[in-house]
Every structure is written in C-alpha cells, then in structure tokens.
Amino acid sequence: MTLHPVGPSSYGSLRGVVQYVTDETVAAQVNSLIAESAGVFADGGILSVNEGLRSRRDQEIKRAAWEAFVDGGPWAPLAAVPYTSSHDQAQGAGLDFGITLPDGRNRALEDDEAAHAWVVARGRLRGIRHTGRDFRPTPESWHFTGGYPASLNPIDPEEVDMTPEEKKQLAAVLDAVTTTKSAVGRVERRQVVIVDAVVKIKVAVGDVRQKVFRMATTRRPPEDRS
C-alpha cells in the first residue's frame, strides 16, 4: 500500500497530522481542490481534509462508539462496519472535509452553504463526490469520496494559478495548523481511550458469560437418590 499526502488536518485529535489517500491521482485532485479554495471562502479559510485514510483499529473503535450510541449511549457519528468504509486501506479514497481558518482553527463545512455548494460542484469536476449525502440513517455533509471520473486534470503544483496573496493565505493557514495545539484534540484522545476500554470490558464480560453458559449446559445432572 502506497500513501499519498493530502495535507494536514486541523480537526480535533488529528490536528497537525498529515492525512493520506492510497491513490496518486486522487491525492493530486484533492490537493488541486484545496489550492483552488484559497480566496473562495468568505472568512479566508481554505478547504482541508479532516480525516483521510483511517486505521483499522480506529474503525473498530468508531464502530463500537456508534453501536453504543444506538443502544442509548453518548452521541457518536455514524461509522461503517470495520474494513468496509471508503476510509479503509482497501479503498483509501474517503475524505472528511472541513475548513481551516487563518488562525488554524477548524470549522465545519456545513456551516457555510455557499462553501459546501462550491466543494460539491468543483469536487465533482475533479472526480470527488459527496457520497455522504446517501448515508443512512444519518447523512454526512462532510464525507466525500475520490476516485470517480474527472473532467479536470490535476493541477501541476508548480503551475497553480494563484495570486501572491492567495499563496500567502494558503501558507499561513497550513502553518497555523502545524504550529498550534488543540485542547479539543486532547479531550478526544481521552474519549478514544475510554471507548477502547469499554470495548475491552464488553469483550471480557462476553467471554465470562460464554464460559458460564458452557459450564451450565455441560454439567451433568445430579444422580437421583430417591
């Protein structure tokens, strides 16, 4: 598996962590879309990938959190059955988009209808589709998938048509992401640890229950001494 970078995330515990996809052309199209977003959004932010490739362990944790939510637990976002997501290495084209502000903070793409519409329309030209709209029971405005037919070729990084001000804006935003830390990220890391511990406890309890059940069903009935 070859990894291709699509820029650093500015979201939660992934803040400052470079995200990846597994296809070179998808990466080029995503990076082209990010470059094109400079100067487009009203607040001076740029498009960024909150999360790209997702580890299989993380998929298991997120799925467990979703199932706990369905059972009445704390809110958690929809998560696919492990290893079936477009974020998985088998496809490696899943893209959760956000907007990174000039100070490095992240804001949700869906908070800006105009920005979201631009990403949907421009992304489609680059082979990146808003597949999250079809998710059920909870559609996701931020989830896109690359690798679809494109009508625009990727932009050569050396030939990106940006004004000096837009290049400065892009560089400033990326620098802000990589040089600041997020308290939210620390909280989310603790939440992941907690969910992971809960999953392990459930597995252990399940093992104990199975052992008790096997003992109960295999135990010989006492002899009739009447």
Q: Give one DSSP letter per residue of 174-213, joined into a string.
A: HHHHHH---HHHHHHHHHHHHHHHHHHHHHHHHHHHHHHH
CATH no. for residue 119?
A: 3.30.1380
Distance from C-alpha of 148 to C-alpha of 151, rounded to nearest angstrom: 10
Task: Report yes or no on 211 lying in a domain.
Answer: no
Is position 203 within any domain?
Answer: no
3-state secondary structure of 72: coil
| Residue 34, in any domain of the structure | yes
Is residue 58 domain-resident? Answer: no
| Inter-residue contact 151 to 125 (CB < 8 Å) | yes
Q: For residue 196, is pLDDT > 60?
A: no
pLDDT in tens, 104-116: 999 999 889 999 9
Q: Which domain holds residue 45?
A: 4-53+89-181
pLDDT tens digits, 12-58: 989 999 999 999 999 999 999 999 999 999 889 999 999 999 999 99
How many other C-beta atoms lie within 10 A of the C-beta of residue 218? 7
Would residue 210 count as lying in a domain?
no
- Is residue 121 a part of any domain in this protein? yes
**pLDDT tens-digit series, residues 130-175:** 999 998 888 899 999 999 999 999 997 666 666 777 777 777 777 7
Is the pLDDT at 216 greater than 60? The verdict is: no
pLDDT tier at 208, thresholds 50, 70, 90: low
Decide: 150 and 30 in contact? Cβ < 8 Å: no
**Number of structural domains the chain divides into:** 1
Q: Record the pTM.
A: 0.72
Q: Does residue 35 fall inside a structural domain?
A: yes
